[in-house]
Amino acid sequence: KKMGFLLTTFLFILVTVVAMFLLGEYAVSQTVDQRYKSYNRKLAYFLVVLAGICMWLMWWSMYMHQMNPMIVPELTEEVAEMLKKQAELSAQIFSTQFKTQSYTIWEQE
């Protein structure tokens, strides 16, 4: 879990930095008044970093909330039905070697 967390965080930072430079250059290329090139570039950097932080925040909350779950999913009739149907269909489509986790139990009926 920790590895996934660090890896994805690192990915976020990487993408943000790359986007920062790309969008900075894009903003500069779109400037009409040449005296304000650095103004636009700096603004683009700020905006991209801010957006990166916001997006990471959302992702991080989701991730951490699911890391040590305090609530467990409980079956309902509809979900049970759906899983059963999925198992049947998958058994028809794939050979028995490919098993996804959720239907192994049903198959053992």
Partner 1 sequence: MAVSGPTEKIPSLFRSEEMVRVQLFIQRDAAHDTIDELGQLGELEFVDLNKDVNAFQRNFVNDIKRCDEMDRKLRFFGSQLHKCGIDPSPVSDDAVEVDNMDELEVILNLEAHFNELEKDLKQSIFHMEELTRNRNEVIELKHVLEKASIFFEEASHIRSQSFGSPDDIHGDEEIQSPLLHRGDIGGAGPKTVRLGFITGVVAKEKLITFERVVWRATRGNVYMRFADIERPIIDPSQREKVEKSVFIVFFSGERIQNKITKICETFGANRYPFPESQAEHMSMMQRVEQQLADLTKVIERTEEHHEEELRRVAASWNQWRTRVRKEKAIYHTMNMFNYDITKKCLIAEGWCPSVSIDDVQRALRLGTLRSGAQVPTIFNVIHTRDEPPTYFRTNKFTEVFQDIVDSYGIARYQEFNPGPFTIITFPFLFAIMFGDVGHGMLMTLFALFLVLQERKLGRSQLNEMIAICYQGRYCLLLMGLSAIFCGAIYNETFSIPINFFGRTWEFVKGKDEAVFLDTVYPFGVDPTWHGTETELMFMNSLKMKVSVIVGVVQMIVGVVLSALNAVHYKKRLNFWFEFVPQMIFICSIFGYLVIIIITKWAINWEARDQTPPSLINMLIGMFLSPTSIKSEDQIYSGQVMVQNLLVVLAFLSVPAMLLPKPYILKWQYAKRRYLNMDGAEEEEFDFSEVLVHQIIHTIEYVLGCISNTASYLRLWALSLAHAELSTVFWDKIMVMVLKMDSPLSGVYIFVAYSIWGMITIGVLMIMESLSAFLHALRLHWVEFQNKFYMGDGHKFLPFSYAKVLDED
18 part of the interface to partner 1, by CB under 8 A: no
43 part of the interface to partner 1, by CB under 8 A: yes
**CA pair distance 54, 61, nearest whole angstrom:** 11
88 part of the interface to partner 1, by CB under 8 A: no
105 part of the interface to partner 1, by CB under 8 A: yes
Phi, then psi, of 97 in degrees rounded to 5: -70, -40
39 part of the interface to partner 1, by CB under 8 A: yes
Q: Which amino acid is at 80?
A: A
93 part of the interface to partner 1, by CB under 8 A: no
Run of H or E including 89: helix 77-93
> Cβ neighbours of residue 24 under 8 Å, at least 6 residues apart?
41, 44, 45, 48
29 part of the interface to partner 1, by CB under 8 A: no
Tokens of 88: 């049947």
Tokens of 83: 């899983």
Q: For partner 1, which residue of 13, 62, 88, 94 counts as binding (CB under 8 A)?
A: 62
* Contacts to partner 1 by CB under 8 A: 1, 4-5, 8, 31-32, 35-36, 38-40, 42-43, 46-47, 50-51, 54-55, 57-59, 61-76, 78-80, 82-83, 100-102, 104-106, 108-109
